[in-house]
Amino acid sequence: MKILFYDTFDYDKSSFENALKDYPDITIDFLEADLNPMTATLANGYDAVCGFVNSDIKAMTLEILAGFGIKLVLMRCAGFDAVNLDVARDLGMSVLRVPGYSPEAIAEFALGLALAADRHIVRGYNRVRENDYSLSGLLGTTFHGKTAGIVGTGKIGAAMCKIVAGLGMRVLGYDPYPNPSLEGIVEYVELDELLAQSDLISLHSPLFESNYHMIDDDAIAKMKDGVVFVNTGRGGLVDTQALIRGIRSHKIGAAGIDVYEEEGPNVFKNRSSAVFESVTSTLCAFPNVVVTSHQAFFTRGALDAIAHTTLDNAMAYVNGTVDQLPKPNVVC
């Protein structure tokens, strides 16, 4: 099977080339360009394409691919909102994805963000580089003995609950579907109670229309003064302007932000020659905020898991055993 990979960076190439040793029947060509109606024409002669979160796999792209006889779209990510599934189904195409690759990778990063922001690790490091060994302005919180509020206790949230429990924190959870595996670790409460009682709040819920801006001015007003707030979930869960107001008013004592609403044009791009967009520059201007760019998943283990699951999906298609894949892998 010959697969054309779109929107690839050096790290995609190396993780997939490494995994390919276990899949002698698959060959891959890597493109930097993302998949869209223009670049879909490059897939002529391939058996499948592999897209990523920002690919445009809507009707026109799918029709061009189907015109070349390509019936398999592999997504090397969990999300599949980039694909028009109705059109894919009508064209008899299969869309396969990687639903959960390394929940611990994201949870560990969320704790890292909390510590980096609240304990001013980046500022401390920058001071030392400037030969400045003063501590004023670097005061943080001891999490041990405090309360953590985890919003969304699925795979990633559950890993986060265990990590913060390991720090000696009391753990509150909010999730419409409580996770039975967390019995004895998490006390489930309503969102308002979680907001009111938590010293550290970390978001691990997917984004739906129903929870868009679940963290708005009202929600922030209910939080403890000086709360440490972390978002590795999705930007749209938080009203960014409300977050900025919360940081300005000192309601939020520190924030670690891996995802934010206006991240779209920035994600995974080197835009160092362009001027900062206003939200990025505002967030970066706060001394108690650490912003990263959708980086929480980015570990060797996660890339390795993404590569193997994507290639397992491809082989299942070749062997006609898609129905034996774990159900969440099969989008259509």
Judged by the rule CB under 6 A, the positions of this chain that interact with ligand NAI are: 78, 100, 103, 106, 151-157, 174-177, 204-207, 211, 232-234, 258-259, 294, 296-297
234 in active site: yes
97, 119, 204, 234: the catalytic one is 234
Nearer to ligand NAI, 124 or 233 (CB): 233
CA distance to 79, 102, 179, 244, per residue, from 183 (Å): 29, 22, 8, 35
Q: How far is the CB of 289 from ligand NAI (least distance, A)?
A: 16
CA distance to 26, 229, 243, 262, 282, per residue, from 219 (Å): 50, 12, 10, 20, 21
97, 204, 263, 308: the catalytic one is 263
What's the CA gap between 267 and 318, in Å, rounded?
A: 33
294 in active site: yes
Nearer to ligand NAI, 74 or 191 (CB): 191
Residue 318 one-letter amino acid: V
129 in active site: no
What's the CA gap between 72 and 91, in Å, rounded?
A: 11
| Longest Cα–Cα distance in the chain | 65
What's the CA gap between 56 and 66, in Å, rounded?
A: 15
Q: How far is the CB of 167 from ligand NAI (least distance, A)?
A: 20
Alpha carbon distance, N-terminus to C-terminus of the chain: 20
Nearest residue relative to ligand NAI (C-beta): 154
Tokens describing residue 330: 């099969």
Query: What contacts 144, CB < 8 A, 6 or more positions away?
Result: 167, 168, 169
Q: How far is the CB of 147 from ligand NAI (least distance, A)?
A: 17
Q: How far is the CB of 326 from ligand NAI (least distance, A)?
A: 13
Count of all residues that appear for the chain in the document:
332
The DSSP bridge pattern shows strands 94-96 and 187-188 to be unpaired
Range 176-196 burial, b when 16+ CB lie within 10 A, else e: eeebeebeebbebbebeebbe
Nearer to ligand NAI, 93 or 257 (CB): 257
Residue 30's DSSP bridge partners are 5
Q: How far is the CB of 8 from ligand NAI (least distance, A)?
A: 18
Nearer to ligand NAI, 78 or 167 (CB): 78
CA distance to 19, 118, 130, 288, 291, per residue, from 285 (Å): 41, 15, 19, 9, 10
Nearer to ligand NAI, 207 or 244 (CB): 207
Q: DSSP secondary-structure letter at 83? A: B
Q: How far is the CB of 99 from ligand NAI (least distance, A)?
A: 7
Nearer to ligand NAI, 119 or 204 (CB): 204
Q: How far is the CB of 186 from ligand NAI (least distance, A)?
A: 12
Nearer to ligand NAI, 103 or 253 (CB): 103
Q: Which residues are catalytic?
A: 234, 263, 294
